């Protein structure tokens, strides 16, 4: 198994002078030694004092903390990443709990909204519908030839913010930063891509400073042909690449996953990654309750990518517990914009909803569905703020000794309820998780640490495992194994203070363990393209990039 890390290509191939300082993968800034300054034409181009990387990190951390708001901190960190990636990732890795909310949720949502005004320097590729017929040529413009990981979006469903078109580039940039920070995938292997097919966001279309195409979204056959060309070009130009679909609209997300999961090594994080981290949290919650997985009845608010993805993986988890598929699906109920999903609505339902259409009388609202279904857990994935009302939370507390409430919509402004509300309206008996972070809750004389159901616990480890063994396919079984692996890391001490996920400080270890488990599954299924090493754990961990300066 080859090490995934990139190393310097040798002294004779290194750029010199300003070109070296302009390469974020090679630039050390003020940490270049006296000898390196002499040999690479840097004398006079840097302040005279030589700093250690530890001193640089301390200075950068102090600078972040001086910024007045999170968007300013995001801008500073983006600038740092664009000039010195080793220092950026060292700062992130050594301060994960503080940095993750800044480089991804919830701050990335605001950053995407402001992307046009904070745009500084291109990062990643913009491939527009106008590039149809020459996408391969555009991919070859990327300076790194060893791309192994692409995160791509068309900007149609950015978090809970809707259609942001080309401004959605903040999402693949952020996701790939997490791949490196949390799982050690070398940044030189990562390529963020935004596919610009237009936008239906009228505000953006009227904005004279909007960065994307000033046209309505292309749909139908023209869209499908564009995506086909894109995926086939990726497969040709980067044959060992893992392709992650991110923040596509519901119809396209399901269609793309169905069309390409067996044709190129790929997955959809909104469907499969969200499912995995959510199932991990439910497994942990049930462990705290002392019950059985098969005894749980889940009621979802929202039946899109995230919700039905969770339902599908939960069904698979229950099948492993011995239930039939029909029995497992009957433990999952969904409410969408038209009410409870039932058999009577079959003809009007999208394909991804139909497996969860059960026999039941019509129910119009989510609160009425709670009364009718009597769930043990409610899971919000509709992007509708404050829809877990005090009345609904109180009903859940009346129905269950320990109600499970997952308010998963992002960003924070879209959360179905706050952590404080969940504890107050369930007399402190709730097991709570959310998509965006909430501060600890003081209730009943105790401090409760709220769990963040964040895909960052899952997709970096899955990606690392796939790349480490060069798997030809990403399977649903890998995401179930990832969920179980993550849940196993939750300690009794975590559960005692309300957490159903490990501390974010454990994210690198979680990613490593998930990667090993995913690679093991790939070997079991015959999907790996490299020989299984004697020590798989050591081999996978050896692939993880560590942000230290190389000596040139």
Rounded CA-CA distance 507/515 in Å is: 12
Q: How far apart are CA 210 and CA 202, in angstroms?
A: 11
Query: Could you tell me the sign of the dihedral formed by the alpha carbons of 99, 100, 103, 107, in that order?
Result: negative
Residue 8: the pLDDT is: 38
| pLDDT for 451 | 86
Residue 12: band (very low, low, confident or very high) from pLDDT cuts 50, 70, 90: very low
Give me the mean pLDDT over the 260-271 stretch. Answer: 97
User: DSSP string of 229-247?
Assistant: HHHHHHHHHSTT-EEEE-S
Question: Is residue 188 helix, strand or coil?
Answer: helix
The confidence score (pLDDT) of residue 1 equals 39
**Residue 370, preceding bond cis, omega within 30 degrees?**
no
- Which SS3 state, helix, strand or coil, does residue 95 take? coil
Q: Tens of pLDDT along 225-236?
A: 999 999 999 999
Helix 274-289 vs helix 305-320: angle between axes, to the nearest 10 degrees? 50
Q: Where are the alpha helices (H) located in 190-273, listed in sequence order? A: 202-205, 220-237, 250-260
User: Looking at 5-9, 436-440, 476-480, 481-485, which range is the least confident one?
Assistant: 5-9
Catalytic residue among 40, 104, 501, 549: 104
- Which one from 175, 353, 395, 414 is the annotated catalytic residue? 175
d(C-alpha 249, C-alpha 162), whole Å = 9
Q: What's residue 6's pLDDT?
A: 37
**pLDDT score of 316:** 96
- Please determine, for residue 289, whether its predicted confidence score (pLDDT) is greater than 70: yes
Name the token pair of 241: 């690449």
Per-residue pLDDT reduced to its tens digit, 298-327: 999 999 999 999 999 999 999 999 999 999
Beta strand pairing call for 332-336 and 339-340: antiparallel
The strand pair at 404-407 and 431-434 is best described as parallel
DSSP string, 526-543: T--SSPPPS-HHHHHHHT
- DSSP code per residue over 48-73: S----HHHHHHHHHHHHHHSSSHHHH
Q: Which of 40, 37, 113, 42 minimizes the C-alpha distance to 411?
A: 113
Task: Answer yes or no: 132 catalytic.
Answer: no
Running DSSP on this structure, what letter comes out for residue 162? B
Asked whether 46 and 29 are in contact (CB, 8 A), the reply is yes
Residue the block writes with tokens 């972040």:
64
Percentage of residues in the chain with pLDDT exceeding 70? 98
By C-alpha distance, which of 376, 349, 501, 477 is closest to 430?
376
Mean pLDDT calculated for residue range 468-488? 98
Q: Which of 411, 414, 417 lies closest to 395, judged by CA?
A: 417
297 included as an active-site residue: no
SS3 content of the chain, % helix, strand, coil (to 5): 50, 10, 40
Residue 10 has pLDDT above 50, yes or no: no
Question: What's the chain's average pLDDT?
Answer: 94
Q: Using only C-alpha atoms, what is the Rg of the chain?
A: 24
pLDDT digits (tens, 9 = 90+) for 412-464: 889 999 999 999 999 999 999 999 889 999 999 999 998 899 999 999 999 99
The helix (run of H) or strand (run of E) holding residue 194 is: strand 190-196
The span from the CA of 344 to the CA of 301, in Å, is 19
pLDDT digits (tens, 9 = 90+) for 61-115: 999 999 999 999 999 999 999 999 999 999 999 999 899 999 988 899 899 989 8
Task: Enter the pTM of the model.
Answer: 0.94
Tokens for 376, please give them: 């043990």
Two structure tokens written together for 510: 């979680």
Phi/psi of residue 434, nearest 5 degrees: -140, 160
Q: What tokens appear for 45 in the block?
A: 């181009």
DSSP state of 128: E
CB neighbours of residue 234 within 10 Å: 23
Output DSSP code: residue 550: P
pLDDT for position 13: 76
């Amino acid at each position: 198994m080859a090490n995934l890390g990139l190393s310097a290509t040798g002294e004779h191939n290194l750029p010199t002078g300003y070109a070296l300082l302009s390469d974020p993968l090679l630039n050390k800034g003020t940490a270049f030694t006296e000898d390196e300054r002499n040999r690479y034409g840097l004398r006079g181009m840097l302040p005279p004092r030589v700093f250690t990387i530890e001193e640089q990190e301390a200075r950068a951390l102090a600078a972040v903390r001086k910024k007045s708001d999170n968007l300013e901190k995001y801008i500073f960190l983006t600038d740092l990443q664009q000039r010195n990636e080793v220092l950026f990732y060292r700062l992130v890795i050594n301060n994960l709990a503080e940095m993750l909310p800044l480089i991804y949720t919830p701050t990335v949502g605001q950053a995407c909204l402001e992307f046009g005004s904070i745009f500084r320097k291109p990062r990643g590729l913009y491939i527009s519908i106008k590039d149809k017929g020459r996408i391969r040529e555009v991919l070859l413009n990327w300076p790194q030839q060893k791309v192994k990981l692409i995160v791509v979006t068309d900007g149609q469903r950015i978090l809970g913010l809707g259609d942001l078109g080309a401004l959605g580039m903040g999402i693949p940039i952020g996701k790939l930063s997490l791949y490196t920070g949390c799982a050690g995938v070398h940044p030189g292997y990562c390529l963020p891509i935004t596919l610009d097919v237009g936008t239906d966001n009228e505000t953006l279309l009227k904005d004279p400073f909007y960065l994307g195409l000033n046209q309505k979204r292309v749909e139908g056959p023209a869209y499908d042909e564009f995506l086909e060309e894109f995926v086939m070009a990726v497969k040709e130009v980067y044959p060992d690449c893992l392709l992650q679909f991110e923040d596509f609209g519901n119809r396209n997300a399901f269609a793309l996953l169905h069309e390409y999961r067996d044709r190129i090594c790929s997955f959809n994080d909104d469907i499969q990654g969200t499912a995995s981290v959510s199932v991990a949290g439910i497994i942990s919650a049930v462990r705290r309750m002392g019950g059985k997985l098969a005894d749980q009845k889940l009621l979802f608010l929202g039946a899109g990518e995230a919700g039905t993805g969770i339902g599908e993986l939960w069904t698979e988890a229950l099948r492993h517990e011995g239930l039939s598929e029909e029995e497992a699906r009957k433990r999952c109920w969904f409410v969408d914009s038209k009410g409870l999903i039932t058999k009577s609505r079959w003809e009007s339902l999208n394909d991804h909803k139909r497996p969860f259409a059960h026999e039941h009388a019509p129910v119009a609202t989510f609160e009425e569905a709670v009364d009718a279904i009597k769930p043990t857990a409610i899971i919000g994935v509709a992007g509708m703020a404050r829809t877990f009302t005090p009345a609904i939370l109180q009903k859940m507390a009346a129905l269950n000794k320990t109600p499970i409430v997952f308010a998963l919509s992002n960003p924070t402004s879209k959360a179905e309820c706050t952590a404080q509300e969940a504890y107050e309206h369930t007399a402190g008996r709730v097991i709570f998780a959310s998509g965006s972070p909430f501060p600890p809750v003081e209730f009943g004389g105790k401090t409760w640490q709220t769990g963040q159901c964040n895909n960052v616990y899952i997709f970096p480890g899955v990606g690392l495992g796939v790349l480490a063994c060069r798997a030809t396919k990403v399977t649903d079984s890998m995401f179930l194994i990832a969920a179980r692996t993550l849940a196993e890391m939750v300690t009794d001490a975590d559960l005692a203070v309300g957490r159903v996920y490990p501390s974010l400080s454990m994210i690198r270890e979680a990613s490593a363990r998930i990667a090993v488990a995913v690679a093991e599954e790939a070997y079991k299924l015959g999907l790996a393209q490299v020989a299984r090493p004697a020590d798989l754990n050591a081999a996978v961990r050896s692939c993880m990039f560590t942000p230290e300066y190389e000596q040139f």
